[in-house]
Chains A and B, each alone.
Chain A
């Protein structure tokens, strides 16, 4: 949609503190179209904060966040909403709307944005749930689902708006290896089929191996190394090594 530059997401010298807690000190990052960048980093280093800055849920204290070639914090309101519509975010918890059934969870963004007819709604919801293997749970409430199912339902809800960018916050954390693999596979297939640009935050090495085109390692508020998986896995740095053992 008008943007044909190389870097779909671009952070320049982003800083963010909470009171005295300096979380991001100087984060710069470029993600090009169709690429999957995996962000590695210990718990509490600010990975979720980075994702929230990319989608504008948090405003950095300084630095620039550009998505589709534009500074998101300088977009006019209508353009900002449109940018968010084109950018999906999978929350660490799934963030399902717990007063709505799974079907209503998926219908909600569609109705709010397009208000299509019943037929279109049913078709899209069914297709999206089928993609994540949750068709059987369509009329369940979120409280009736397991952790892994919630994440898959969250992913289905994100995919239903057909975003061009997907941000995943720890998509496999807290799940058993088999379910984790299912989700990683799902991420992989979404990338391939839709030529999705993605940023994946994870600790799960299997997920990294299955999804990463490039890896960035976050330490002390900045990226210490970035590179293709083969390079990163061979790196000498102790901190980087610690993730692969």
Chain B
């Protein structure tokens, strides 16, 4: 007889396998993406618009508080001039991507999970299957593509706001010019501070889309499972983002 833990473990492994094959299916069906441009754009706007307010506020405040926190410590070392470069490096490399991805996991992941979940429960997906209109392509490929492109764009935007927030914080307390701030913030940046972190945000976006779609598309019967699908989409994609981030950081230190 299997123990409870063994059972749970087997279940997890099975789910992992299903998610893998679901993500491979995305790439197979993404070949027909040109037929879904209109719907992809629509989903893109919806996802971006829904997340925009929260992402904007978070980005701005992130830079603001970070600058305020760094200031006293660096001041005591007489290293105030380092604040802009410290800000830009930490925001671009790590804080921006991870925080905004987690926020998107909450916003987009739950939205995708709940939307597809309720379509599944009310047999709308089965109805699409039955009339051969390729629901996977219409529902999943479009949303996952939208998230894969949307999340990196939101992160770039939030990074810019965070740097602006940092400037505002410094400007309130000392007399630093935009030109100087920008020069200090950007001069230090190298390839490794910009490109690898940017690339990993696509992986985060894809993860958010795929996990949300998977949970919704495979939602079980009964209305309470819709809430469950949305919830577990957020939990799982957040966890995966943190794990993937760790891996990405490991990889980028090799170069």
Interface size on B, residues (CB 8 A): 14
Check A108/B133 contact, CB under 8 A, given A91-B126, A98-B122. yes
The secondary-structure label for the interface of chain B is helix
The complex places the Cα of A98 from the Cα of B126 at a distance, in Å, of 14
Judge whether A109 and B129 touch: CB under 8 Å: no
Which of these, A87, A89, A97, A161, contacts B124 with CB under 8 Å? A97
Query: Is A70 at the interface (CB under 8 A from chain B)?
Result: no
Contact bitstring B152-172, A, C-beta under 8 A = 1, else 0:
000000000000000000000
A-B contact pairs, 30 of them (CB 8 A): A52-B126, A55-B130, A57-B129, A81-B134, A84-B129, A84-B130, A84-B132, A85-B131, A85-B132, A87-B130, A89-B130, A89-B131, A91-B123, A91-B126, A93-B123, A95-B123, A95-B126, A95-B127, A97-B124, A97-B127, A97-B128, A98-B122, A108-B133, A109-B131, A109-B133, A112-B133, A112-B138, A113-B132, A158-B131, A161-B131
Query: Is A82 at the interface (CB under 8 A from chain B)?
Result: yes
The complex places the Cα of A93 from the Cα of B123 at a distance, in Å, of 8
Residues of B contacting A57 with CB < 8 Å? 126, 129-130
- With both chains docked as a complex, state the minimum distance between the C-beta of A198 and any C-beta of chain B, in angstroms: 15
- With both chains docked as a complex, state the minimum distance between the C-beta of A96 and any C-beta of chain B, in angstroms: 7
Instruction: Scan residues 24-70 of chain A and give those whose CB is less than 8 A from a CB of chain B.
Output: 52, 55, 57
- How many residue pairs link A and B with beta carbons under 8 A? The number is 50
The complex places the Cα of A95 from the Cα of B123 at a distance, in Å, of 5
Which of these, B122, B124, B126, B132, contacts A81 with CB under 8 Å? B132
Contact bitstring A81-111, B, C-beta under 8 A = 1, else 0:
1101101110111011110000000001100
Check A91/B127 contact, CB under 8 A, given A98-B122, A112-B138. yes
Which residues of B line the A interface, CB within 8 A?
119, 122-124, 126-134, 138
- With both chains docked as a complex, state the minimum distance between the C-beta of B49 and any C-beta of chain A, in angstroms: 16
Complex: chain A residue closest to B127, CB-CB:
A95
Interface size on A, residues (CB 8 A): 25
Judge whether B124 and A96 touch: CB under 8 Å: yes
The complex places the Cα of A82 from the Cα of B131 at a distance, in Å, of 9
- With both chains docked as a complex, state the minimum distance between the C-beta of B121 and any C-beta of chain A, in angstroms: 10
Residues of B contacting A95 with CB < 8 Å? 122-124, 126-127
Complex: chain A residue closest to B131, CB-CB:
A109
Residues of A contacting B130 with CB < 8 Å? 55, 57, 84, 87-89
Complex: chain B residue closest to A87, CB-CB:
B130
Q: Chain A CB within 10 Å — which of B119, B128, B130 has the most?
A: B130
Residues of B contacting A87 with CB < 8 Å? 130
Residues of B contacting A161 with CB < 8 Å? 131
Residues of B contacting A112 with CB < 8 Å? 133-134, 138
- With both chains docked as a complex, state the minimum distance between the C-beta of A121 and any C-beta of chain B, in angstroms: 15
The complex places the Cα of A176 from the Cα of B255 at a distance, in Å, of 72
The complex places the Cα of A195 from the Cα of B119 at a distance, in Å, of 32
Judge whether B133 and A113 touch: CB under 8 Å: yes
Q: Which 4 residue pairs spanning A and B have beta carbons closest together?
A: A95-B127, A84-B132, A112-B133, A89-B130
Residues of B contacting A158 with CB < 8 Å? 131
Instruction: Scan residues 113-172 of chain A and give those whose CB is less than 8 A from a CB of chain B.
Output: 113, 154, 157-158, 161
Residues of B contacting A109 with CB < 8 Å? 131, 133
Complex: chain B residue closest to A51, CB-CB:
B130
- With both chains docked as a complex, state the minimum distance between the C-beta of A145 and any C-beta of chain B, in angstroms: 14
- With both chains docked as a complex, state the minimum distance between the C-beta of B34 and any C-beta of chain A, in angstroms: 13
Judge whether B127 and A89 touch: CB under 8 Å: yes
Which of these, A84, A96, A98, contacts B131 with CB under 8 Å? A84
The complex places the Cα of A55 from the Cα of B131 at a distance, in Å, of 10
The complex places the Cα of A161 from the Cα of B127 at a distance, in Å, of 13
Residues of B contacting A81 with CB < 8 Å? 132, 134
Contact bitstring A205-240, B, C-beta under 8 A = 1, else 0:
000000000000000000000000000000000000
Residues of B contacting A93 with CB < 8 Å? 122-123
Residues of A contacting B122 with CB < 8 Å? 93, 95, 98
Residues of B contacting A89 with CB < 8 Å? 127, 130-131
Complex: chain B residue closest to A154, CB-CB:
B127
Complex: chain A residue closest to B137, CB-CB:
A112
